[in-house]
Amino acid sequence: MNILTLDDFDLKDKTVFLRVDMNCPIDPDTMEISGTKRIEETIETINALKNSKTVVASHQGRVGNKDYTGMDKHAEMLEEILGRKIKYVEDVIGESARKEIKNLKSGEILMLDNLRLCAEENYEFTPSDAAKTIMVTRLAPLFDLCVLDSFPSAHRAHPSLVGFSHVLPACAGKIVEREVRKLNEIMTVAKAPHVIVLGGSKVSDRLEAIKALIKNGRADHVLLTGLIGNVFMRAQGRIKAPLGIKREEDVVAKAHTLIGEYPDIFSTPVDVAIDRDGSRVEVDVRDLGKDDQIYDLGPKTVEYYNKFIAGAGTVFISGPPGFFEKEEFSYGTRSLLERVANSMATTIVSGGHLTSALKKYGLAQKITHISTAGGALVLYLTGQKLPMIQSLEEAAKRHRSK
């Protein structure tokens, strides 16, 4: 690997900036964390830093979205899972944060507040410009080492992801090390046809990535589900009513262009499940009413998609095909995952929701690679260099040339 790992450094008594991705699903009614997988994943690296002074930093949600919260609950949850005391400061770069960092003793862990509280962390920079941000110029002098373990946000060029690593010695944490190793292995053996089963709610990000996947020969068939499936059905004129999503006209127009450019690649649902008076009802897409909310795929769509999965050399599935947390809408997610798990193909499952679903249905052992990363993994598969990984490679080159 051309990045450094924790094994390349003497970690004892060092003050470490540890960038993790604890961006968790948040229940919009209670504002509680509703899935802790990403917090659990950070433990291996935090334990590897047991003799260091560790400062844990993450973002949660996007400014203005419902899942944008402070990190106090994450800190509590981490303390519970890890069984070690976590100090928490409601600050990122201010005097209180800096004081807490300076006062840390070896073996102690401090968690900062949501990094996106700092305006700068909501913008993308080149590494040298990221290094000039107030966040990096104020905090970097307090650290000996930067450990990047935030694979799900590796496609962002925010100061915490490319700035500290530009001015400090930097290496990958355990998650990033494992992901990069495994994905590099997979990319060398992955065979066509490549079948992508794509759902998820970050539609704009996904639209960009789909094009790159197709162009780089990584998507021979794209089977659409979830919100992005609805966007394509709207672009095809098969859903008549507006979806009520952000920048709808723009994303529908982009989907329309993609269908025009690659008419044989995309498949959209033929039937879906909706909620009528609290019960699951399956309807043909052309019979959808204007107020009907789609919660799952119907059986004809599952059969149709399964044929592609059965003939695939590589299957990548990202974003849940249905609202599987509710038993009556779990059919589509469960059926497709079962088919993916039992196929002869190289299989990659991406995103926190599908990772939980695999666990729930006891299918995890049968998958080649499981990652809680969503958008970052999609972009990685396109063959693009992710900014965070690139910055780790630069740091490794600097370190080795010393």
Of 152 and 269, the one with the shorter C-beta distance to ligand 3PG is 152
- Residue range at the interface with ligand 3PG (CB under 6 A); choices 150-158, 273-281, 328-336, 389-397: 150-158
Of 19 and 156, the one with the shorter C-beta distance to ligand 3PG is 156
- Residue range at the interface with ligand 3PG (CB under 6 A); choices 41-49, 89-97, 149-157, 295-303: 149-157
Of 173 and 374, the one with the shorter C-beta distance to ligand 3PG is 374
Are the CB atoms for 119 and 141 separated by under 8 Å?
Answer: no
Instruction: Tell me the β-bridge partners of 194.
Output: 314
Interface pick for ligand 3PG out of 14, 18, 19, 21 (rule CB under 6 A): 21
For 65, the token pair is: 């979205």
- Applying CB under 6 A, the site for ligand 3PG has a residue count of 9
Interface pick for ligand 3PG out of 159, 229, 319, 374 (rule CB under 6 A): 374
3-state secondary structure the chain: CCCCEHHHCCCCCCEEEEEECCCCCECCCCCCECCCHHHHHCHHHHHHCCCCEEEEECCCCCCCCCCCCCCHHHHHHHHHHHCCCCEECCCCCCHHHHHHHHHCCCCCEEECCCHHHCHHHHCCCCHHHHCCCHHHHHHHHHCCEEEEECHHHCCCCCHHHHHHHHHCCEEECHHHHHHHHHHHHHHHHCCCCEEEEECCCCHHHHHHHHHHHHHCCCCCEEEECHHHHHHHHHHCCCCCCCCCCCCHHHHHHHHHHHHHHCCCCEECCCEEEEEECCEEEEEEHHHCCCCCCEEEECHHHHHHHHHHHHCCCEEEEECCCCCCCCHHHCHHHHHHHHHHHHCCCEEEEECHHHHHHHHHCCCHHHCCEEECCCHHHHHHHCCCCCHHHHHHHHHHHHHHCC
Question: Which residue's Cβ has the minimum distance to ligand 3PG?
Answer: 23
* Residue 330 C-beta: closest distance to ligand 3PG, Å: 22
- Residue range at the interface with ligand 3PG (CB under 6 A); choices 1-9, 49-57, 148-156, 342-350: 148-156
Interface pick for ligand 3PG out of 42, 69, 133, 153 (rule CB under 6 A): 153
Interface pick for ligand 3PG out of 25, 127, 152, 229 (rule CB under 6 A): 152
Binding mask 196-225 for ligand 3PG (x = CB under 6 A): ------x-----------------------
* Residue 21 C-beta: closest distance to ligand 3PG, Å: 5
Are the CB atoms for 109 and 131 separated by under 8 Å?
Answer: no
Of 21 and 120, the one with the shorter C-beta distance to ligand 3PG is 21
Interface pick for ligand 3PG out of 375, 378, 392, 396 (rule CB under 6 A): 375
Of 64 and 260, the one with the shorter C-beta distance to ligand 3PG is 64
* Residue 388 C-beta: closest distance to ligand 3PG, Å: 11
- Residue range at the interface with ligand 3PG (CB under 6 A); choices 104-112, 151-159, 278-286, 380-388: 151-159
Give, as ranges, the residues between 28 and 87 that touch ligand 3PG (CB under 6 A): 62
Binding mask 155-174 for ligand 3PG (x = CB under 6 A): -x------------------
Q: How far apart are the first and last CA of the chain?
A: 18
Of 21 and 100, the one with the shorter C-beta distance to ligand 3PG is 21
How far is Cα 211 from Cα 207, in angstroms, rounded to an integer? 7
* Residue 374 C-beta: closest distance to ligand 3PG, Å: 4
* Residue 61 C-beta: closest distance to ligand 3PG, Å: 7
User: 278 CB contacts (<8 Å, ≥6 apart)?
Assistant: none
User: 364 CB contacts (<8 Å, ≥6 apart)?
Assistant: 355, 358, 370
* Residue 382 C-beta: closest distance to ligand 3PG, Å: 15
* Residue 122 C-beta: closest distance to ligand 3PG, Å: 9
- Residue range at the interface with ligand 3PG (CB under 6 A); choices 107-115, 152-160, 243-251, 265-273: 152-160
Are the CB atoms for 143 and 17 separated by under 8 Å?
Answer: yes
Residues that bind ligand 3PG (CB under 6 A): 21, 23, 62, 152-153, 156, 202, 374-375
